[in-house]
């Protein structure tokens, strides 16, 4: 199969040595354009820092187009968005406080940010949401229903800013699929590779499959598979590839994140073929995302071949998704 280079509209590329290791694997995995998440230490909260981060990425992976995000925080004001487009910034990412990796500076309420959302609506910037409420078992919330409980916030934001384009990231539930579909043209969702196959059983006790939001129930997975292969233009690829060194995964308190970047398209082709919907892969990975983000077509192409491909045990210190398993597809 020959396909355009994919658009991966949600990636974590880190800093320092890890950045140098991960960024060059974007092309290997079949993507030519990525939306880069801002949860660095410290987070990317200014246009100047986004521009500097982008230059760093371009230096190690010159063949990739990097679209940047800013981390929603009190520092981010409507005035501070000046020059955002020129710095490659296309979205603002919101992390509720404490829900995942480097989200300590995340937000506790959306109301103080309404002037910013109004400015984003006017400027055509996208609001990218980590869609989980903070877990609070004593008040009846756990990581299993944190996404479903977040959906009222999504509905409220959409009601208040109907023209603001919003992406609910890495959805994991049937409830989120239905909600996004219901909300109409300015609300979309990304779906990861790993959530198409993982359920609770796969991460409980298996840290390398632990990510946030956690994979849910078989019925949720069925809804995700249906959404990804439905041909619906508001469900598209965002891998949430999230590398962590082995020592941060193989420990009693593991970091959340699954690393899929180097074999992104082989994983996806393998999955879509098993679902009997290879015909829907191209739009999911190469078209719907770019249309929602209003991006031009990419010029390069990739070739996916039905040739077995063994997932390496490790890339440097990082263990990839499905390490040691054989995928049915290879990518050039
Ligand atoms: O599993 C995850 N890992 N989910 C996130 O939201 C963040 C990411 C990371 O940065 O490691
Ligand atoms: Zn993420």
Q: What is the CATH number of the domain that holds 49?
A: 3.20.20.140
| d(CA 242, ligand 1 centre) in Å | 6
User: Whole-angstrom Cα distance, residue 154 to residue 172?
Assistant: 15
Which pLDDT band, with edges at 50, 70 and 90, does 97 fall under? confident
What pLDDT sits at residue 108? 76
Phi, then psi, of 34 in degrees rounded to 5: -135, 150
- Backbone phi and psi for residue 178, each to the nearest 5 degrees, phi listed first: -65, -40
Give catalytic status of residue 12 as yes or no.
Answer: yes
Q: What SS3 state is found at 135? A: coil
Work out the average pLDDT over 42-52: 96
Query: Structure pTM?
Result: 0.97
Q: How far apart are CA 307 and CA 286, in angstroms?
A: 21
Identify the pLDDT of residue 139: 87
Q: Is 80 exceeded by the pLDDT of residue 293?
A: yes
Phi, psi of 206 (to 5 degrees): -130, 90
The whole-number pLDDT of residue 101 equals 77
Nearest listed ligand to the Cα of residue 190: 2
> Which of 240, 243, 248, when mutated, tests ligand 1's pocket best, judged by the most ligand atoms within 8 Å of its CB?
240
Query: How high is the pLDDT of residue 34?
Result: 98
pLDDT at residue 164, rounded to an integer: 98
104, pLDDT greater than 90: no
Per mean pLDDT, which range of 88-102, 113-127, 215-229, 287-301 is the poorest?
88-102
Distance CA 14, CA 22 (A): 8
pLDDT at 11: 99
99 — pLDDT class (breaks 50, 70, 90):
confident
- 110, pLDDT greater than 80: yes
Mean pLDDT of the chain: 96
pLDDT tens-digit map of 167-181 = 999 999 999 999 999
Q: What are the pLDDT digits (tens) for 141-168?
A: 999 999 999 999 999 999 999 999 999 9
Could you tell me if 150 and 134 are in contact, meaning their C-beta atoms sit under 8 angstroms apart? no
Cα–Cα distance for residue pair 106/55, rounded to 1 Å: 25
Ligand 1, closest atom to CA 243? 11
**What is the rounded CA–CA span in Å between residue 73 and residue 94?**
8
State residue 321's pLDDT score: 98
- 103-129: burial string, b at 16+ Cβ within 10 Å, e else: bebbbeebeebeebbebbbeeebbbbb
Tokens standing for residue 41? 């230490």
**Which residue among 197, 240, 270, 283 is the active-site one?**
240
Using CA atoms, how far apart are residues 207 and 204, in angstroms rounded to an integer? 7
| pLDDT on residue 259 | 99
Number of structural domains in the chain: 1
Strand order in the sheet with 330-331: 2-4, 301-305, 330-331
Select which of 7, 8, 113, 130 is catalytic: 130
Using CB distances shorter than 6 Å, the residues near ligand 1 are: 12, 39, 100-101, 130, 211-212, 240, 242, 256-257
pLDDT for res 100: 78
Cα-to-centroid distance, 241 and ligand 2 (Å): 7
> Is 208 a residue of the active site?
no
Q: Give the confidence band of 103 by pLDDT, cuts at 50, 70, 90.
A: confident
- Tell me which residue has its CA closest to atom 2 in ligand 1: 257
Q: According to the model, what pLDDT value does residue 150 have?
A: 96
Query: Ligand 1, from 146, 191, 211, 249: best to mutate by most atoms within 8 Å of Cβ?
Result: 211
Nearest residue to 8 via CA among 258, 211, 238: 238
Q: What is the percent of the chain where pLDDT is above 70? A: 100
What is the model's pLDDT at position 192?
Answer: 99
**Containing structural domain, residue 197:** 2-331
For residue 101, how far is its CA from the centre of ligand 2 (angstroms)? 9
**Residue 10 falls in the annotated catalytic set:** yes
Report how far ligand 2's centroid is from the alpha carbon of 192 (Å): 10
Mean pLDDT over 182-193 rounds to 98
How close is the Cα of 124 to the center of ligand 1, in Å? 26
Q: Ligand 1: which residue has its CA nearest to atom 4? A: 212
Above 90 in pLDDT, residue 102? no
């Amino acid at each position: 199969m020959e396909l355009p280079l994919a658009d991966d509209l949600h990636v974590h590329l880190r800093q320092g040595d890890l950045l140098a290791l991960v960024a060059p694997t974007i092309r290997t995995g079949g993507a030519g354009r990525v939306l880069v998440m801002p949860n660095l230490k410290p987070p990317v909260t200014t246009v100047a820092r986004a521009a500097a981060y982008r230059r760093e990425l371009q230096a190690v992976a010159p063949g990739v187009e990097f679209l940047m995000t800013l981390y929603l925080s009190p520092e981010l004001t409507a005035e501070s968005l000046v020059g955002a487009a020129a710095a490659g910034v296309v979205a603002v990412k919101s992390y509720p406080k404490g829900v995942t990796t480097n989200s300590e500076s995340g937000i506790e309420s959306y109301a103080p940010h309404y002037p910013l959302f109004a400015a984003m609506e006017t400027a055509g910037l996208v609001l990218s949401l980590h869609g989980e409420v903070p877990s609070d078992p004593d008040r009846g919330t756990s990581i299993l229903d944190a996404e479903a409980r977040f959906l009222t916030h999504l509905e409220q934001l959409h009601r208040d800013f109907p023209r603001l384009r919003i992406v609910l990231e890495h959805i994991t539930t049937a409830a989120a699929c239905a909600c996004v579909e219901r909300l109409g043209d300015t609300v979309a969702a990304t779906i990861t590779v790993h959530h198409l196959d993982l359920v609770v059983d796969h991460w409980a006790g298996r840290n390398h499959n632990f990510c946030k939001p956690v994979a849910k129930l078989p019925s949720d997975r069925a809804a995700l598979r249906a959404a990804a292969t439905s041909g619906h233009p508001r469900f598209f690829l965002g891998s949430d590839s999230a590398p962590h060194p082995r020592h941060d995964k193989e420990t009693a308190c593991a970091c959340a994140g699954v690393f899929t970047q180097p074999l992104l398209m082989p994983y996806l082709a393998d999955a879509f073929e098993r679902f009997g919907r290879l015909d829907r892969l191209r739009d999911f990975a190469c078209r719907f995302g770019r249309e929602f983000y209003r991006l031009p077509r990419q010029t390069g192409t990739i070739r996916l071949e039905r040739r077995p491909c063994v997932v390496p045990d490790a890339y440097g210190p990082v263990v990839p998704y499905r390490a040691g398993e054989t995928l049915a597809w290879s990518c050039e």
